[in-house]
Amino acid sequence: MTDGHFVVIPVTVEDVLYCSFSSWYAKFGKYTISDAAIFKPLPKEFVAYLESDGIELPKENKKDSVLFQDAKPNSDNEYSDWEESDAGILKNSEKMNSDPTEHFKSFHNELKETIKSFGSVAPKLNWSAPQDSTWIMTGRNMKCFSTSDLFLLLKSSDYVNHDMYHAFDETTDYDKANPPKFELELILRKWVDINPSTEFRCFVRDRQLIAISQRDLNYYSFLDEIKEEIMEKIFMFFDDVLMGKFDCNSFVFDVYIPKPLKKMYLIDINPFQRSTESLLFSWNELATMKPADDDVDIRFVTEHNSGRFASKAHSQNHVPVEFVNASVDTQSMIDFLKKCKNMELENSDSDDSSNEETERL
């Protein structure tokens, strides 16, 4: 029994490292859905670019992105009084006009070549894909056709930040004085259209497959009918492929079983830790449940509980588009500040009127 207590889930630095893409892909790449290019080590100039504030994009194809069309001067956006008074913004503007890829030209060319050969790509770093920034893309997905798309996704994502600085936050054997050495990696997976309704997350604890959850938390009425087939396929893959070759005792793997359920693909392997989304289970449950051998708890969203999971995945990381625009060029910065100013004025007006009302009452 957990008695409502927070159960500690022990995860080691080694467990996390085993789940780094290049580490598991070396063994299980042939079970994935598409080819992937692994860039590792990354040039320090590119890492510095990822770490930097603002979102500067490659100059040559900047205009590919809808966010970066030049603003045409008109009576609404000519703020001549601002320009002179704010030298900082002007300086910033010069910086924005520079091409960030100047500092990692040959690496940029490699990325361009890879995207060209794959047609389009789904990016990710060691552990995380920038799923939190898809709202900024025209297709609302991670599909990148150019390095502009790629950099825009990566630079707008908080999950990238997680991989760079917080990957070992939950580990129990982390030694501050001797932090684990790991190399940041960029993965470009050839894009394949995936139907999220048949993606599943599978939880393995102490080398036993204990739980399976639907990954996309919408209600799909057909899932119940194919439950047995899904379980069988996942069990077979776990027993025949993963168990013998993967070195962690506890981990979480994601699979995709497209209809008509003939094939199964490995999408990812994640650490068995709280920051891995537990979907239709709670982490306390996963840490304490005691299934009999070969008994797995498989859960789908049902007609009756579909409302509970209606919120959009990763939406907690979305920010207004004006905010992102403002960080990339001067004109948008001015527009953004003007909007903020107007909102401030509107608020103070409404505050005044509510005060008036209070007084009137």
3-class SS of residue 212: strand
Q: What share of the chain is helix, strand, coil (3-state, %, to 5)?
A: 45, 10, 40
Question: What's the closest the beta carbon of residue 335 comes to ligand ATP, in angstroms?
Answer: 32
Q: Which does 179 bind (CB under 5 to 8 A by kind): Mg ion, ligand ATP, none?
A: none
Q: Please report the DSSP string for 146-161 in residue order.
A: SHHHHHHHHHT-HHHH
Q: Which does 275 bind (CB under 5 to 8 A by kind): ligand ATP, Mg ion, none?
A: none
* Residue number with CB closer to ligand ATP (93 or 317): 317
Q: Which does 267 bind (CB under 5 to 8 A by kind): ligand ATP, Mg ion, none?
A: ligand ATP
* Residue number with CB closer to ligand ATP (104 or 118): 118
Cα 311 vs. chain centroid, distance in angstroms?
17
At 225, which amino acid appears? E
Question: What's the closest the beta carbon of residue 58 comes to ligand ATP, in angstroms?
Answer: 22
Residues contacting 67, CB < 8 A, separation 6+: 136, 152, 321, 324, 325, 328
Q: Which does 221 bind (CB under 5 to 8 A by kind): Mg ion, ligand ATP, none?
A: none
In whole angstroms, give the CA distance from residue 114 to residue 121.
Answer: 9
Residues forming contacts to Mg ion in the complex (CB under 5 A) are: 268, 270
Question: What's the closest the beta carbon of residue 252 comes to Mg ion, in angstroms?
Answer: 8
* Residue number with CB closer to ligand ATP (101 or 128): 128
Q: Which does 92 bind (CB under 5 to 8 A by kind): Mg ion, ligand ATP, none?
A: none
Question: What's the closest the beta carbon of residue 314 comes to ligand ATP, in angstroms?
Answer: 9
* Residue number with CB closer to ligand ATP (142 or 328): 142
Residues forming contacts to ligand ATP in the complex (CB under 6 A) are: 33-34, 122, 124, 128-129, 131, 189-192, 194, 196, 199, 254, 267-268, 270, 277
Contact 322, 339 (CB under 8 A): yes
From residue 4, alpha-carbon distances to 57, 177, 250, 283, 288 in Å are: 48, 34, 23, 12, 12
* Residue number with CB closer to Mg ion (12 or 270): 270
The residue whose Cβ lies closest to ligand ATP is: 129
* Residue number with CB closer to ligand ATP (104 or 237): 237
Question: What's the closest the beta carbon of residue 122 comes to ligand ATP, in angstroms?
Answer: 4
Q: How many CA atoms lie within 13 A of 49 on its CB side?
A: 24
* Residue number with CB closer to ligand ATP (24 or 151): 24
Q: Please report the DSSP string for 166-180 in residue order.
A: ITTTT-SS--TTSPP
Evaluate the omega torsion of the peptide bond into residue 41 and state whether it is cis, within 30 degrees of 0: yes
